[in-house]
Structure 1
């Protein structure tokens, strides 16, 4: 009887084997199909630098640092359906930045394609203020070792949580993409300035930008606006002497700031030319600024030397004078703001990029920095420094 049972069991297993095989093959096919919908990519910037003297420049001094500008990110794209995609970009720093975790989520959003020319995105999104906003931190995608700091440095308008619409228009041989967005962003800097548990929100971050690409040319124009977070009362504190003081964020609280941008790019495979202008205009007490840069590079095979010039200046110097920006507390204590009447900054950069492979590049760059402050009492301070940097940048 046992022998008959064993033979029957073996025969049953043999008969069922194709069924199990089909089921296993089906699961494998389903797994392969699911994996085909997922794309994993990323970038890495390994940078070392040292300055000529100890006056900080990009957080560098005479001591060689390999962590100030070393970071990377991993991006996961999931194609949920023919029209719906999900994107997640994480970012890590070799050295934790102020107000940033050493590792965290940089972007996370859904994209829904309404048509071949219209897309809607929602989630944590990049603010498209700059010509190279989409890959500001992805050094490999740029000619330079780092983006033009005097133009691109504004941490309060790098990203937002909200919604945006992208619409393409075909004009002759070119394409115009219009990008409109609306959202808000938390401002941890305001929270830290008064050591408060309150959450400060940069409200009404919104704008419209248009990018026109034709042949080797790219043109971009647009405007972005935002409101400084909090109210004046949120930033009043008592100093060590027992006197009431107002933090500068309180003096600017509620002010509306608008950024008008104009950019141009040209790349014919040999020459690469970039230029950008941004005007920062405020209806409050914050200074108005004009920011400009231009760069030219030429490819000799895998080697591309380049030169870049950046300049920043205050535009409303006549508004500032002694006693024009003062806050008087209830106890009679006065706080003075905007004591710098004018600011002029410039950076000239010489560098070279060598493409080791299709996804790995080595860059070397020298930056000469000049900075002049003119105070409301006509006192002038001039600063200068030189930064030497090398970087290995990759995408995968």
Structure 2
């Protein structure tokens, strides 16, 4: 997949249904995607929220499989449902990632139901590994909200063609009260939100895209004596393609942390080597370097071979900082740094 076609692929609101789908009837289609890997670190401390990769070779830490159904009900009104077995889920207990009605009127579209949180560049296709170059989206930014990806509520999008090549979109959204669960090394935490409200804006052209996001949420961790907290999250990201080069960068900041990454890759026929550098500040306090190569076996199947180094300062290690680990490595008597090796396969249909 060339960078121009890859950028066009990622600009689609519903990438799977537009690129590949099984057409059941004229107005109903089914599509799917998946990823799996062999992953191993040189540190026995579990690494990454919702994946928990250790020095034991893992064959299912990244395993993802999703099915999406799309139905055109009448002109301008359609429905979409996506069910995903995420890396943290059992096969018997997948997650309903989205289920919404979408109505289009002139330059506007309105959605209601369970929707994807539009905070980041790859939010809409976060679980579709075939849609991006890396084995995983950079954890420095994409793990910053603990893997929460969807909400129940409403959104409205205004799309304006500023010129023949420039498209501007603005999406305000509002989420109703919701429960989100996350598990750390066998301990489950329930984040109960009273509401979330946000705004996503973007500008895209033939070979570039800029995205800005904002979300405000009031939530409480359900445990005795836990107070209600309010968080404000800001994101800024961009991607640009030039000939065989493709660049991406994003920054995320909120009340307790600031995280960012920069990524560059170069396409050589079916091979795409890439480099990523990322940093996390305040809460996690780490930096990381990733080097890998993606091989497009077919237009719908890709392979990744990737190395990632995750590093922490000695003083943060001594202060029992988690970094990108699920728990402080010092509590395991392990080294403060880790090398992660991954072989990944991605596909969609």
The TM tier, using the shorter chain, reads 0.7 to 0.9
- For 2:19, the equivalent position in structure 1 comes to none
Q: Could you give the per-residue CA deviations for residues 298-339 of structure 1, whole angstroms, max 9, x where no partner exists?
A: 00011000000111001xxxxxxxxxxxxxxxxxxxxxxxxx
Greater Rg by CA: 1
- For 1:388, the equivalent position in structure 2 comes to 341
Question: Is the aligned partner of 1:203 residue 2:177?
Answer: no
- For 1:220, the equivalent position in structure 2 comes to 211
- For 2:301, the equivalent position in structure 1 comes to 360
Give the Cα separation in 2 of the matches to 1:156 and 1:366.
22
Q: Could you give the per-residue CA deviations for residues 110-155 of structure 1, whole angstroms, max 9, x where no partner exists?
A: 100122x110000000000111100111110001010011201123
Q: Quote how far apart the aligned CAs of 1:194 are.
A: 10
Please list, as runs of the form range in 1=range in 2, the aligned pairs for 1:109-148 lying within 5 A after superposition. 109-115=100-106, 117-148=107-138
SS in structure 1 of the partner of residue 140 of structure 2? helix
Question: Is the aligned partner of 1:46 residue 2:72?
Answer: no
Give the Cα separation in 1 of the matches to 2:188 and 2:69.
36
CA 1:106–1:222: 2 relative to 1, 3 Å? closer
Q: Could you give the per-residue CA deviations for residues 192-248 of structure 1, whole angstroms, max 9, x where no partner exists?
A: x9999xx86312211111110022111111211111226xxx632xxxxxxxxx5xx
Q: TM-score, normalised by structure 1?
A: 0.72
CA 1:379–1:57: 2 relative to 1, 3 Å? closer
Question: Is the aligned partner of 1:177 residue 2:177?
Answer: no
State whether residues 176 and 210 of structure 1, in contact with CA within 8 Å, keep that contact through their aligned partners in structure 2. yes
Q: TM-score, normalised by structure 2?
A: 0.81
* Pairs aligned (count): 307
Give the Cα separation in 2 of the matches to 1:303 and 1:378.
42
**Which 10-residue stretch deviates more, 266-275 or 81-90?**
266-275
CA 1:299–1:122: 2 relative to 1, 3 Å? same
Give the Cα separation in 2 of the matches to 1:75 and 1:34.
13
CA 1:378–1:68: 2 relative to 1, 3 Å? closer
State whether residues 344 and 373 of structure 1, in contact with CA within 8 Å, keep that contact through their aligned partners in structure 2. no
Give the Cα separation in 2 of the matches to 1:88 and 1:379.
42
SS in structure 2 of the partner of residue 257 of structure 1? strand
- For 2:245, the equivalent position in structure 1 comes to 271
CA 1:187–1:224: 2 relative to 1, 3 Å? same
Question: Is the aligned partner of 1:344 residue 2:285?
Answer: yes
State whether residues 279 and 291 of structure 1, in contact with CA within 8 Å, keep that contact through their aligned partners in structure 2. yes
Structure 2 gaps, min length 5: 1-22, 322-329
SS in structure 1 of the partner of residue 303 of structure 2? strand
- For 2:181, the equivalent position in structure 1 comes to 188
Residue 370 of structure 1 is aligned with which of 303, 311, 318? 311
State whether residues 141 and 259 of structure 2, in contact with CA within 8 Å, keep that contact through their aligned partners in structure 1. yes
Q: Quote how far apart the aligned CAs of 1:156 are.
A: 6.4
CA 1:357–1:203: 2 relative to 1, 3 Å? same
Give the Cα separation in 2 of the matches to 1:298 and 1:200.
40
Give the Cα separation in 2 of the matches to 1:36 and 1:170.
29
Please list, as runs of the form range in 1=range in 2, the aligned pairs for 1:291-330 lying within 5 A after superposition. 291-314=259-282
CA RMSD of aligned residues (A): 2.7
- For 1:240, the equivalent position in structure 2 comes to none
Considering fraction of residues, name the structure with more helix.
Answer: 1
State whether residues 39 and 77 of structure 1, in contact with CA within 8 Å, keep that contact through their aligned partners in structure 2. yes
- For 2:74, the equivalent position in structure 1 comes to 81
Give the Cα separation in 2 of the matches to 1:378 and 1:65.
29
Structure 1 gaps, min length 5: 1-32, 237-245, 282-287, 315-341
- For 1:339, the equivalent position in structure 2 comes to none
State whether residues 347 and 370 of structure 1, in contact with CA within 8 Å, keep that contact through their aligned partners in structure 2. yes
State whether residues 174 and 214 of structure 1, in contact with CA within 8 Å, keep that contact through their aligned partners in structure 2. yes
Q: Quote how far apart the aligned CAs of 1:102 are.
A: 3.0
Please list, as runs of the form range in 1=range in 2, the aligned pairs for 1:24-63 lying within 5 A after superposition. 35-58=25-48, 59-63=52-56
Give the Cα separation in 2 of the matches to 1:227 and 1:271.
41
Give the Cα separation in 2 of the matches to 1:383 and 1:78.
50
